[in-house]
Amino acid sequence: MAQLAIGEVSLDRLIFMPCFVSPFKTGTIASGESRETMIRLALEEVTIPEADVSDYEISRSQPSYSWETASHFHEQEPMVSWYWILGTDQWESIERWAEPEKLRSLLHFIVLTRHGDKVAGRPGWRHTAVEFSHPASSTAIRKDFEARREWMTPSVFDYCQSQELYSG
């Protein structure tokens, strides 16, 4: 997914941003630190020179709102054109996110589609639709971890097993 977005939109850099706690989810299985570790492990096995991981949201130790993260990075580097990668499900609900007008002004969205889904345009919003055909989903991994082994790098799978994540 990251490599596709980098290639399709010619991104110079991609920052993975695990959140501390999503304001929309309850009962998170893996801590923010565990999710950061999994991303770092995956990036050690899958070479993506443009990719890095930020602990910005985790270090805040509070629910993460995308507008706050976007504002933070824009303040740090105001001359950068910032992109945000999401799926069509999140794109369809983005106007219900906290502070959507800030997101609209700060970001260009890369909307990854599946199964030929069409991406609805939104007046005033910048977006690029990118077809993504891999079946992987975090919901499916949590539901049947062992059967989804091929969707993870070996080190991520081993880490999840050693930490007893997703396997019960």
pLDDT in tens, 26-82: 656 788 899 999 999 999 999 899 999 999 999 998 888 999 999 999 999 999 999
| pLDDT tens per residue, range 115-158 | 888 899 999 999 999 998 877 777 788 888 888 889 999 999 99
DSSP 62: S
Amino acid at 83: Y
CATH 3.40.50.2000 fits 1-64+150-168, yes or no: no
Q: Which long-range contacts (CB under 8 A, 24 or more apart) does 152-155 make?
A: 152/42, 153/41, 153/42, 153/45, 153/46, 154/45, 155/41, 155/42, 155/44, 155/45
pLDDT at 167: 66
Rounded to the nearest 10 degrees, how much is the dihedral formed by the CA atoms of 93, 99, 100, 105? -160
Tokens of 166: 């997703």
Inter-residue contact 16 to 152 (CB < 8 Å): no
| pLDDT tens per residue, range 96-126 | 999 999 999 999 999 999 888 889 999 999 9
DSSP 117: P
Name, in order, each residue with C-beta under 8 angstroms of 62's C-beta and a sequence gap of 6 or more.
20, 21
Give the helix/strand (H/E) hosting 162: helix 154-162
pLDDT at 30: 85
Inter-axis angle of helices 154-162 and 32-45, nearest 10:
150
132 CB-contact burial (10 Å; exposed 0-12 / middle 13-18 / buried 19+): buried
Which pTM does this prediction carry?
A: 0.87
